Structure 1
Amino acid sequence: MLRRVILIRYPFLAIALAFLLFLPGCQITDPIRKDGVEPVARTLETRPNILLIVADDMGYTDIGSFGSEIPTPNLDALAMNGVRFVNFHAAPSCAPTRAMLMSGVTNREAGVAGTVDPVLSDNIAPLPALLQDAGYRTYMAGKWHLGHEPEQSPTTRGFDASYALVRAGDNHLGASNFPSDVVAYRENGHVAQLPDNWFSTELYTDKLIELLRDGEGTEQPWFGYLAFTAPHWPLQAPTDWRDRAVGRYDEGYDVLRADRINRTRELGIIPETTSVNDYVGIAPAWESLDSESQRQQARAMELYAAMVENMDFHVGRIVEYLKTSNQFEETVILFFSDNGASGSDSSFRPRTIPRTDWDNSLSNMGHEGSFVAIGRGWAEATTAPYRNVKGSLYEGGTRAAAFMSHDSIPQGGNIDNGYLTVMDVLPTLLEIAGSVHPGIEFQGQPVLPIRGRSFWERAKGNAAPVHDDSDIIPWMTSDERAALVQGEWKIVRESAQGVNTDSQSAWKLYHLAEDPWESTDLSGLHPQISAELIDLWNIYRAGL
């Protein structure tokens, strides 16, 4: 039977640890970890740089080191020379993940309920401000999506310099979808215009490399946040990338799903016992589609693959910059996707983009002026064998491909199966920086203590779990859609017509250790476990 646990914070401990950082001397001491490993003293000069790369709406198996057929040699080289986190979880959509990343708490605690006009709360200590306070130069290029007003921009949250898309999404090339009176981009807090002949992934990479070059020669380490908008819809690619996967997906998403599951199993990413037949999706069978629909959908997947391959190319550019500037060995690189693949199809039109003149003819797909998305079938193929896709609190919506690479991490393509969340990134990067979260006060303002736990020692081979059976990990996208994980158990509530969301029957129970595919609801067999987890959820909800 599960232990009923109510988290009790110990702010005096965090304050005491923060105080130790400012004792006289030239050393910085690593924070005390719950695994009891002896802290390591570092000098300012030995702290590594940190590069955080986040993909947007990328499926779990979309890079080669996680089972993909898409050529991603640069990402794979990093992953195979580091550690792959195969049980890493983000929120099921863009802004909530970014709120958790920046705060170390749940998205609701950080003030972000959804994806429309999200604004990061003032009651958290933001990751870049904490690293800035620890002596890091802090740079960002890419998608912010946590407030579009000047006072909500990355600059006010601790980035020394930034070039940011402050909206949920936009075109990847050509003209912006937003009219001139709507602010979509900001550079260092000021309204920014797009350059000529831009492509989003290239632009953001260019901007970050430019910022890093400007800082060369300084003694401070740096934190760089590269937040791509690829492969988020609308699916668009430069001319010389658009046709690289022509014909690759003509056999359809059912074939691709089986191929991906088989490769992922061979790589050791999923259990050897996983069967292609275990997966049950809701997309219609590929063979049931007419030939025109098949051609349109195959073309959409070709463009999606082009965006992933292009993203890998630009990751290679920044890696090459680090190597030629003699910074690669001094840089920790963390990569992950912000959620599972999107199941939206090409008929989808977001309310946040005020445009109606789309041309989705086959010949124009992938060009400026088209609005293409991969649809449910391909999304299921890129997240299988996990259940569901972006927007869902089932594993397919939240489990994300992730890896970390650095010389201090054992080489050989290690795979880590420990449960991790995007809330764990903040304390991990702080530990790498030789710092700690301040607890309940930061820069004279009250802040929330964090839920996340560092996985830095885990990445370097320490077997101690980051989260033990007492940790409570709540997830929430709305009052109707929620989940909670404790140890090997998970409850999920996704709105169902005619079901009282306050009743125990609204929740499903899964044993993740034996059923990570969430195929068998055990709430009827283990009502007491369900009830205890629901009680813990209600305690969390009441505290918001």
Structure 2
Amino acid sequence: MSLAALLMAGAQAGTAGDEPPPGSGAPNVVFILADDVGYGDLGAYGGKVPTPNLDRLARQGMRFTDAHSPAALCAPSRFSLMTGSHPYRNGRPGGSWDINNSSGFSHNGARTRAGRHITVGEVMRAAGYRTAFFGKMHLGGDVYDSEGRVIRDKNALNTMDFSRGIGDGPDRHGFDYWLGLPSGIQHEPYAYFENGRFAPVDPARPADNSSTRLLEDGFYLVSGNGLSEIVEAAKVPARGDVDYDSSQAGIRLTDAAVDFIDRHVEENRERGRERPFLLYFASQAIHVPHSPPFDFDGDPSTIDEQVYGRTGAMTSDVLYELDLQVGRIVAKLEEEGIADRTLIFFTSDNGALWPHVAHYGDPAHDNNGPFRDYKASVYEGGHRVPFIARWGDGTAGGSVVPPGTVSDQLIMGQDWVATMYQLTGQDMQEDQALDSVSLLPVLTGRQPEDEPLREFALYQGGDAYEGAIREGSLVLVVDDKAGARELYDLAADPAQEHDLSGLPAYRETVARLHRKFLTYNDHRDDTVEPRTTRPFRRGPPGRDGRIPRPGPAVP
């Protein structure tokens, strides 16, 4: 069956059920989320640190120049990237952060008909996909003390009973398998959890408190393949796995993702039928602590793939490691002969790191391009991020996404969620994925570049109540008291140096955009704001319906 026929069949097979029909050709999906990677960090976006694997993805797919994270900080963005809804939709605009907070998907779920915020894992599992999550969470959940009481005080997390594991985790929200660091490498518990159970680094150790210890700020030599660093336990010692090593997190997570692909392919062979998978990979890189491994293959006796010292600075070493993680996952897809049937996304949870945190080996490296400010800022540098999509074998004739293409469409990171609804042919519930629009028309070349995919977009700054609204090239910044503050025209002023809000010619524009922002995000009351995007509904073949034919000769 040709690639075109496979894709058409996959599109028509996307109805809810146990799994797609045999031979449906529904593509595998790999979503890779970086941590704190800015617009100018990758070579494909002008960066100077070597990122050959990500640059290859861009050459073989589509690179977006006007993509934005939902928020300028990681935790709120991570809720949105899972649900397609803005961070404030669950009443927790600042995000769920550490594991002492309840699940962001369950929080305020009573506002929805489903009783929870439906994740992309649930969407894909309903279409018959096997689903897996790996990496940094910051999604909340339930942990317990020795008496079985839920811990909500962050300073009491070091009393956590590891043998009780984590409740209300990703396994309760659409993922068949998960291996994660509940708060990344920067917050406790410094340990991995697998399907809700404590998973010691050394599998021979018991999965209980005897395999943990208290950790304080500083460096720890654990594995011999890098220096582990703890940076957030100065006031209250934090509990973690006795073998926890921040420098090995990327290796362990990548190994687990590759193992998942191995197991899945083998199970497909045994079953004699192709079942697609969704792999959500949330890398620890490049968030602090910047503790790269000496060698990416994990064996300190030989240096086969040097990381530490590779670029001349710890931050850029970890950026280089991120690229190795992506390269290893893509190489596994190619090794198994399924890369041409896999849709790969890459993006970041927020904008570039602040200069005082990000020290790069190449002094010419500009991690933010021409944009103003950095992570946690409401300005462009806080949320404009790389976004790459590849679907196919990287050739013009064997790809759905035309290789080597660049799109200037305004998109949001959470738009990939609506893309999955359309990919699998599932209607959105009216109160789910409230702020997500499918990228398929753009990815397949059916949306003209001069025809905006989005009418407007909302951004959230580091302060959960500070935001902005973007319409065309105009951006209105709204302060934390919901007042209109500044107006910029990005077409003429991408660095946001010239505030237009005080000019008489823009008075009505400021008032109109301010009213529009408050219609969709007004934190001053308990109003349930309307959707910012139309819910996806299955339609006839074409721009708003099923997947079109691949290749350059799209009619």
* TM-score, reference length from structure 1: 0.69
Q: Equivalent of 1:160, from 169, 173, 176?
A: 176
Query: What is the correspondence of 1:484-523 to structure 2 with a 5 Å cutoff?
Result: 484-494=469-479, 501-504=481-484, 507-523=485-501
Q: Equivalent of 1:95, from 54, 57, 75?
A: 75
Q: Equivalent of 1:461, from 445, 450, 465?
A: 445
Question: What SS does structure 1 have at the residue aligned with 2:138?
Answer: coil
Q: Relative to structure 1, is the Cα distance of residues 88 and 379 closer, same or farther in structure 2, using a 3 angstrom cutoff?
A: farther
Asked if 1 retains the 8 angstrom alpha-carbon contact of 2:41 and 2:365, the reply is no
Question: What SS does structure 2 have at the residue aligned with 1:215?
Answer: helix
- C-alpha separation between the residues in 1 aligned to 2:414 and 2:311? 36
Asked if 2 retains the 8 angstrom alpha-carbon contact of 1:167 and 1:184, the reply is no
Asked if 1 retains the 8 angstrom alpha-carbon contact of 2:72 and 2:460, the reply is no
Match of 1:187 in 2: 194
Asked if 1 retains the 8 angstrom alpha-carbon contact of 2:417 and 2:433, the reply is no
1:97 positional shift: 1.1
Look up the equivalent residue of 1:413 and give its one-letter code: G
Q: Relative to structure 1, is the Cα distance of residues 522 and 221 closer, same or farther in structure 2, using a 3 angstrom cutoff?
A: same
Query: What is the correspondence of 1:328-477 to structure 2 with a 5 Å cutoff?
Result: 328-343=339-354, 345=356, 374=359, 381-407=366-392, 408-432=399-423, 434-440=424-430, 447-464=431-448, 467=452, 470-471=455-456, 473=458, 475=460, 477=462
Match of 1:64 in 2: 43
Question: What SS does structure 2 have at the residue aligned with 1:418?
Answer: strand
Match of 1:252 in 2: none
Give the stretch that moved more between structures: 186-195 or 76-85. Answer: 186-195
Q: Equivalent of 2:119, from 114, 126, 129?
A: 126
Match of 2:288 in 1: 233
1:133 positional shift: 0.8
1:309 positional shift: 1.1
Look up the equivalent residue of 1:429 and give its one-letter code: M
- C-alpha separation between the residues in 2 aligned to 1:113 and 1:26? 36
- C-alpha separation between the residues in 2 aligned to 1:190 and 1:524? 56
Asked if 1 retains the 8 angstrom alpha-carbon contact of 2:94 and 2:464, the reply is no
- C-alpha separation between the residues in 2 aligned to 1:378 and 1:429? 40
Match status 1:47 vs 2:15: no
Match of 1:261 in 2: none
Give the stretch that moved more between structures: 404-413 or 155-164. Answer: 404-413
Asked if 2 retains the 8 angstrom alpha-carbon contact of 1:468 and 1:487, the reply is no
Look up the equivalent residue of 1:70 and give its one-letter code: V
- C-alpha separation between the residues in 1 aligned to 2:363 and 2:351? 12
Asked if 2 retains the 8 angstrom alpha-carbon contact of 1:148 and 1:184, the reply is no
1:326 positional shift: 0.9
- C-alpha separation between the residues in 2 aligned to 1:27 and 1:381? 41
1:470 positional shift: 4.0
Match status 1:73 vs 2:52: yes
- C-alpha separation between the residues in 2 aligned to 1:241 and 1:183? 22
Look up the equivalent residue of 1:414 and give its one-letter code: T
- C-alpha separation between the residues in 2 aligned to 1:158 and 1:480? 30
- C-alpha separation between the residues in 2 aligned to 1:378 and 1:114? 34
- C-alpha separation between the residues in 2 aligned to 1:334 and 1:391? 23
**Unmatched tracts of structure 1, length 5 or more:** 1-24, 32-40, 171-176, 247-301, 347-372, 441-446, 496-500
Look up the equivalent residue of 2:441 and give its one-letter code: E
Question: What SS does structure 1 have at the residue aligned with 2:257?
Answer: helix
Question: Identity of aligned pairs, percent?
Answer: 28
Q: Relative to structure 1, is the Cα distance of residues 492 and 43 closer, same or farther in structure 2, using a 3 angstrom cutoff?
A: farther
Asked if 2 retains the 8 angstrom alpha-carbon contact of 1:112 and 1:121, the reply is no
Q: Relative to structure 1, is the Cα distance of residues 314 and 472 closer, same or farther in structure 2, using a 3 angstrom cutoff?
A: closer
Question: What SS does structure 1 have at the residue aligned with 2:53?
Answer: helix
Look up the equivalent residue of 1:439 and give its one-letter code: Q
**Unmatched tracts of structure 2, length 5 or more:** 1-8, 110-116, 143-165, 203-221, 224-244, 269-273, 295-305, 393-398, 529-555
Aligned-pair Cα RMSD in Å: 2.9
Asked if 2 retains the 8 angstrom alpha-carbon contact of 1:322 and 1:328, the reply is yes
What are the superposed Cα offsets for residues 294-351 of structure 1, whole Å, 9 maximum, x if unpaired? Answer: xxxxxxxx111111112212222111111111111111110011111221746xxxxx
What are the superposed Cα offsets for residues 343-371 of structure 1, whole Å, 9 maximum, x if unpaired? Answer: 1746xxxxxxxxxxxxxxxxxxxxxxxxx
1:483 positional shift: 1.1
Q: Relative to structure 1, is the Cα distance of residues 210 and 42 closer, same or farther in structure 2, using a 3 angstrom cutoff?
A: closer
Asked if 1 retains the 8 angstrom alpha-carbon contact of 2:61 and 2:391, the reply is yes
- C-alpha separation between the residues in 1 aligned to 2:191 and 2:120? 23
- C-alpha separation between the residues in 2 aligned to 1:244 and 1:211? 29
1:412 positional shift: 4.1
Asked if 2 retains the 8 angstrom alpha-carbon contact of 1:49 and 1:223, the reply is yes
- C-alpha separation between the residues in 1 aligned to 2:12 and 2:88? 33
Question: What SS does structure 2 have at the residue aligned with 1:405?
Answer: strand
Look up the equivalent residue of 1:192 and give its one-letter code: A
1:126 positional shift: 0.8
Match status 1:307 vs 2:282: no
- C-alpha separation between the residues in 1 aligned to 2:83 and 2:498? 34
Match status 1:141 vs 2:134: yes
Question: What SS does structure 2 have at the residue aligned with 1:509?
Answer: strand
Look up the equivalent residue of 1:420 and give its one-letter code: I
Asked if 1 retains the 8 angstrom alpha-carbon contact of 2:501 and 2:510, the reply is yes
Q: Relative to structure 1, is the Cα distance of residues 43 and 450 closer, same or farther in structure 2, using a 3 angstrom cutoff?
A: farther
Q: Relative to structure 1, is the Cα distance of residues 494 and 27 closer, same or farther in structure 2, using a 3 angstrom cutoff?
A: closer
1:190 positional shift: 1.2
Q: Equivalent of 1:206, from 255, 271, 276?
A: 255
Asked if 2 retains the 8 angstrom alpha-carbon contact of 1:136 and 1:220, the reply is yes
Look up the equivalent residue of 2:293 and give its one-letter code: P
Question: Which protein has the bigger helix share?
Answer: 1
Question: What SS does structure 2 have at the residue aligned with 1:382?
Answer: coil
* TM-score, reference length from structure 2: 0.68
Aligned residues: 406
- C-alpha separation between the residues in 2 aligned to 1:221 and 1:391? 36
